[in-house]
Amino acid sequence: MTSIKRTKSDRNLGLSTLQDISALILQSHDLDETIRNIVDLVALRAHSDVCSLYLLENDQETLTLRATKGLDESTIGRVSMKIGEGLTGKVAADKQILAIEEPHKHPDYQYFAETGEEQFHTFVGIPLFDHNHAIGVLVVQTREHHIFSKEELATLSTIAFQVASIVVNARLLDAIDHYGRKDTATPTTEDDTEDSESQQSNTLRGKAAYPGVVTGPANIIDQQFGFSDIFDECNIDLPAELKRLDEALRKTRIQTLYLEKRVAEKLTQEDAAIFHTHLMILEDRGFIDRLHILIEEQHSAPYALKKVISGYLEAFGQMEDPYLRERAADMEDIGRRLLANLVGKNTEGLQLHHSGILVAKRLLPSDMAILDHRMIMGMVIESNEANSHSVIMAKALGIPAVIGVKSAISKIKPDDNLILDANSGCIYQNPDQSIIDEYSRLGQEGQLEKQRLLELQNIPPVTRNGQRIHLRANIGLISDVNVAKTHGAEGVGLYRTEFPYMARSSFPDRQDQYLLYKKVVKDFAGTPVTIRTLDIGGDKALPYFTQPKEDNPFMGWRSVRVSLDNLDIFQTQIEAILMAAKHGPIRLLFPMISNMEEIRTCKIIVEKAKDNLRKEKILFAEDIPLGAMIEVPAAVRLASHLAKEVDFFALGTNDLIQYLLAADRSNPLVEKYYDPLHPAVLLSIGCVVAAAHNNNIELCACGEMATDPACLLALIGLGIHEFSLSAPYIPRLKNFINRIDTVAAEELLQSLLLQADSHSIREALDQAIRNLPVTDFSVIKYQPQPLQIKSRGNATRLQS
Ligand code: PEP
Ligand code: MG
């Protein structure tokens, strides 16, 4: 059997092909052109003789050939099959990759004479998904015998994801187009969402998005030049309006490229990825056609833009998928920039002339790119979009922010004196003297505390009785690394790898992931970095990874379940982590484990990943500690068994609380039920601690619970000495830890575990905190000990 000769460039199939596909999308103007270019490119890069794309028709039953490189092109649109019919139909029906040799010998093979495909000896079919629903099949065929490697298949799957998202987006634009034709010319005015609930006259409330307290003048970013100023004009000069539009589109594309570059320099490539999507929209033929049609109907270019953008905004606003709903912000952003270019205004208005607390209805990604971050002391945002790109960027920059503040724009006036307490989500507007005094006292204390904390910078957190506590950071975006380091985090206890991928437009390949993980582990120079495999689903979606629409997403297909159903993606990620572990101490963590089979399968995949890397002669760390997240009640009950399978536990308090108490972690209606000090939570955590101790494995508590001092005291009293949390909390908690005595905390918890009511538990903890002594650093008895990261194989020793 002859295999196609592998060249060095084969290895680059993934990265370069994916980059080229992104470039192709920008060059192509409609779906047909894009997919035609994609099949050409994939055939070329995969050294295949054929690459074809079949898409599902509206009847949801028929797959039709929509583009091909290698088959007779005149059969495009004419060759079709039902789902389940032939090999291509089988791929769609099974929703699984099929990679076989001698396809004509397969029982499901069906011959389509018109395509001339009898000459091919290898067949690979990759399903395209939208929300777990097959929407097409990408087929690659070779004339010679060729065994496709795992890596190649994984890359083809990633390409298929990307193609699927292009198809879905194109159809989405189509759907919006139909919607738009219903003449939904509601202008994009700033309809004031006046809050009917009476609030204290000078206190506004919202949701803390990033912690911190700042005082400063309000810097209002009103909708600068908006569509409300645009009215239709009579007697337009048609050629002049079309030219005006073309010119504005050209200018806006150039500005968008500049924004992308600027954000990539200031933040990261991932943060900049959103502008790539903006470019796609600015090049989208459907978008441009709609503008042309309206201008040809004798509307001015700005008015045409107003109508088109408002149609999109309305359509996006009605979408069920929160990710898509939030994309309305991108549409608004594009519209506003385009409008500024149409009417000859620039974005000067966005310049901040003094530092202050930024108040905006909604901040768009380009605002965050243009604004001088040094002038932003804090952010007050009306919209409640915790996952929006601007909020992600604010978090990455460590700017205290409160979101979901109703009517902020109408209530706050320029230069109002504001106290933004982004710990509690309160904004005090022109506060009276008592509040100013209180916050200035807190501010002075904060300054003093800062000074004290400076003294503590190189001293690890240690309790009064000398117990060393480890405070690590939860990180997501690469920009969090700096925030974590400046706050004195001792490595990373939880790297949420889904975050960098959320801000991207396509799935990163192994090399991309490896470079990212390597950067993080090198940045933390010797301190451990716990990398958690993808934890998507629930409230976290990847734009290019189609997930099913579920009634109960948190109880559904999420986290490790998704990984175990997509072994290519899973193994690729593990390979990248193992490779990065060559550069520093990495621990590999599996989320949402709920049974033994899952953790055992994860371990098998790790071994397979190692075998594959060995085969490819790629350097990797042979023995890295493996961990399981304990975040569902089943894992608590199984903890003593799970502890025998892994090197460490990560206690996911965010999820554990919601699953134990049946209270959605992000639903304000059940907020009062989401109680970290509920006795059931403490008893469960106690069981996990016992299982970890009895089996001599490490346990790190992740999640928000530990950021509340009363809860931290409870967790320490339960015997936990390692925590991972949002880094800005670390200095404060370090100070708090210095005041605790673990023996006293353990005794207190022994008695609290007998209580059935969380109110009395909280009261007792609060009382204990009030009785804690003020820190006296001279009594800290800590003697540095070697910090050991255990692994069931060879132990990796680290100096703390
Ligand atoms: C948790 O569930 O506690 C956790 C740390 O993970 P996430 O918040 O990412 O679900
Ligand atoms: Mg979790």
Condensed to tens digits (0 to 9), the pLDDT of residues 8-55 reads: 334 345 545 655 665 665 555 567 777 888 888 888 878 889 999 999
Helix (H) or strand (E) segment spanning residue 714: helix 709-717
Question: What pLDDT does residue 774 have?
Answer: 72
* Atom number in ligand 1 closest to CA 705: 3
- The band of 789, judged by pLDDT with boundaries at 50, 70 and 90, is very low
Out of 535, 536, 659, 665, give the residue to mutate to test ligand 1, the one with the largest number of ligand atoms within 8 Å of its CB. 535
Q: Over 70: is that where the pLDDT of 645 sits?
A: yes
Question: What pLDDT does residue 349 have?
Answer: 46
* Token code pair at residue 142: 């070779």
Give 381 Cα–ligand 2 centroid separation in angstroms: 27
- The band of 771, judged by pLDDT with boundaries at 50, 70 and 90, is very high
Give 689 Cα–ligand 1 centroid separation in angstroms: 18
The Cα 262–Cα 368 span in angstroms is 10
Label the pairing between strands 98-101 and 80-82. unpaired
- For atom 9 of ligand 1, which residue has the closest CA? 496
- The band of 796, judged by pLDDT with boundaries at 50, 70 and 90, is very low
- For atom 4 of ligand 1, which residue has the closest CA? 652
Residues within a 6 A CB radius of ligand 1: 494, 496, 535, 631, 652-655, 702-703
* Catalytic residue (one of 389, 470, 487, 678): 389
The Cα 740–Cα 749 span in angstroms is 13
- Whether the CB-CB separation of 54 and 308 falls below 8 Å is answered with no
> Does the annotation count 299 as an active-site position?
no
> Does the annotation count 702 as an active-site position?
yes
Mean pLDDT of 651-669: 89
Label the pairing between strands 376-381 and 401-403. parallel
Output the CA–CA distances (angstroms, integers) from residue 565 to 107, 237, 568, in the order listed: 25, 58, 9
- In 3D space, the residue among 213, 221, 193, 668 whose CA is nearest the CA of residue 402 turns out to be 213
Order of strands, sheet of 417-421, starting from the edge strand that comes earlier in the sequence: 203-205, 426-429, 417-421, 213-221, 356-360, 376-381, 401-403, 207-210
In three-state form (DSSP H/G/I as H, E/B as E, the rest C), the secondary structure along 633-664 is HHHHHCHHHHCCCCCEEEEEHHHHHHHHHCCC
Specify the 3-state DSSP secondary structure of 403.
Answer: strand
- Whether the CB-CB separation of 393 and 476 falls below 8 Å is answered with no
Q: How many CB atoms lie within 10 A of CB 226?
A: 17
**789 strand-pairing partners:** 796
Question: What pLDDT does residue 221 have?
Answer: 78
Which of 24-38, 548-562, 769-783 is the most confident on average?
548-562
Question: What pLDDT does residue 784 have?
Answer: 33
Output the CA–CA distances (angstroms, integers) from residue 301 to 178, 293, 314, 426, in the order listed: 21, 10, 20, 42
Q: Over 60: is that where the pLDDT of 131 sits?
A: no
Question: What pLDDT does residue 225 have?
Answer: 52
Q: pLDDT tens across 330-367, in order?
A: 788 888 888 888 887 654 446 676 889 999 887 776 67
- Whether the CB-CB separation of 427 and 205 falls below 8 Å is answered with yes
Give 706 Cα–ligand 1 centroid separation in angstroms: 12
Helix (H) or strand (E) segment spanning residue 53: strand 50-56
- Whether the CB-CB separation of 62 and 134 falls below 8 Å is answered with no
Mean pLDDT of 633-661: 97
Mean pLDDT of 46-67: 89
- Whether the CB-CB separation of 673 and 724 falls below 8 Å is answered with no
The Cα 661–Cα 438 span in angstroms is 36
The Cα 210–Cα 400 span in angstroms is 5
Q: pLDDT tens across 681-699, in order?
A: 999 999 999 999 999 999 9
More confident residue, 258 or 716: 716
Q: What is the DSSP letter of 673?
A: G
Q: What is the DSSP letter of 554?
A: G
- Whether the CB-CB separation of 99 and 131 falls below 8 Å is answered with no
Cα 228 versus chain centre, distance: 33
Question: What pLDDT does residue 267 have?
Answer: 66
- In 3D space, the residue among 386, 382, 393 whose CA is nearest the CA of residue 427 turns out to be 382
- In 3D space, the residue among 508, 501, 512, 509 whose CA is nearest the CA of residue 535 turns out to be 501
Least confident interval from 108-112, 263-267, 576-580: 263-267
Specify the 3-state DSSP secondary structure of 223.
Answer: coil
Give 608 Cα–ligand 2 centroid separation in angstroms: 26
Q: Over 50: is that where the pLDDT of 799 sits?
A: no
Least confident interval from 136-145, 191-200, 703-712: 191-200
Mean pLDDT of 384-405: 75
- For atom 7 of ligand 1, which residue has the closest CA? 654
* Atom number in ligand 1 closest to CA 538: 10
Output the CA–CA distances (angstroms, integers) from residue 144 to 273, 587, 621, in the order listed: 39, 43, 37
Mean pLDDT of 429-434: 84
- Whether the CB-CB separation of 655 and 665 falls below 8 Å is answered with yes
Question: What pLDDT does residue 25 have?
Answer: 57
Token pair 């459907």 is found at 286
Percentage of the chain modeled with pLDDT above 90 = 40
- Average pLDDT of every residue of the chain: 81
- The band of 458, judged by pLDDT with boundaries at 50, 70 and 90, is low
Give 386 Cα–ligand 2 centroid separation in angstroms: 17
Q: pLDDT tens across 733-756, in order?
A: 888 998 999 999 999 999 999 999
* Atom number in ligand 1 closest to CA 655: 2
Q: Over 60: is that where the pLDDT of 233 sits?
A: yes
- Whether the CB-CB separation of 55 and 66 falls below 8 Å is answered with yes
Question: What pLDDT does residue 315 have?
Answer: 77
Q: Residue 466: CA atoms inside 13 Å, Cβ hemisphere, count?
A: 5
The Cα 271–Cα 261 span in angstroms is 10
Read out DSSP for 447-470?
HHHHHHHHHHTTSPPB-TT--B-E
The Cα 625–Cα 647 span in angstroms is 5
Output the CA–CA distances (angstroms, integers) from residue 455 to 141, 198, 488, 777, in the order listed: 66, 45, 12, 9
Give 449 Cα–ligand 1 centroid separation in angstroms: 29
What phi, psi does 544 have (nearest 5°)?
Answer: -105, 5
Question: What pLDDT does residue 171 have?
Answer: 62
Q: Over 70: is that where the pLDDT of 5 sits?
A: no
Give 591 Cα–ligand 1 centroid separation in angstroms: 8
Mean pLDDT of 269-273: 67
Question: What pLDDT does residue 15 have?
Answer: 46
* Atom number in ligand 1 closest to CA 498: 9
Helix (H) or strand (E) segment spanning residue 713: helix 709-717
Question: What pLDDT does residue 82 have?
Answer: 93
Q: pLDDT tens across 446-457, in order?
A: 666 566 655 665
- The band of 174, judged by pLDDT with boundaries at 50, 70 and 90, is low
Percentage of the chain modeled with pLDDT above 70 = 78
- The band of 260, judged by pLDDT with boundaries at 50, 70 and 90, is confident
Least confident interval from 88-97, 215-224, 421-430, 577-586: 215-224
Mean pLDDT of 597-605: 98
Read out DSSP for 176-190?
HHHHHHTT-------
Model confidence, pTM: 0.56
The Cα 425–Cα 227 span in angstroms is 31
The Cα 150–Cα 146 span in angstroms is 13
Q: Over 90: is that where the pLDDT of 478 sits?
A: no
Mean pLDDT of 271-299: 84
The Cα 11–Cα 573 span in angstroms is 16
- In 3D space, the residue among 43, 49, 40, 44 whose CA is nearest the CA of residue 121 turns out to be 49
* Atom number in ligand 1 closest to CA 535: 9
Q: What is the DSSP letter of 33?
A: H
- Whether the CB-CB separation of 706 and 653 falls below 8 Å is answered with yes
Least confident interval from 215-219, 277-281, 687-691, 763-767: 277-281
* Catalytic residue (one of 276, 702, 711, 721): 702
- Whether the CB-CB separation of 477 and 520 falls below 8 Å is answered with no
Q: Over 90: is that where the pLDDT of 621 sits?
A: yes
Amino acid letter for position 150: K
Q: pLDDT tens across 371-391, in order?
A: 777 889 999 998 877 656 567
Rg of the chain over CA atoms, in angstroms?
28
Q: How many CB atoms lie within 10 A of CB 567?
A: 16
In the chain, the domains with their CATH numbers are 15-176 (3.30.450.40), 201-432 (3.50.30.10), 472-773 (3.20.20.60)
Instruction: List CB contacts of 600: < 8 A, sequence separation 6 or more.
Output: 645
Mean pLDDT of 129-137: 77
* Token code pair at residue 10: 């084969």
More confident residue, 283 or 58: 283
* Atom number in ligand 1 closest to CA 591: 6
- In 3D space, the residue among 633, 689, 685 whose CA is nearest the CA of residue 660 turns out to be 633
* Start-to-end C-alpha separation, the chain: 55
More confident residue, 424 or 349: 424
Q: Is the dihedral of CA 243, 249, 253, 259 positive or negative?
A: positive
* Ligand nearest to the Cα of 473, by number: 1
Mean pLDDT of 711-725: 97
More confident residue, 239 or 34: 239
Q: Over 60: is that where the pLDDT of 370 sits?
A: yes
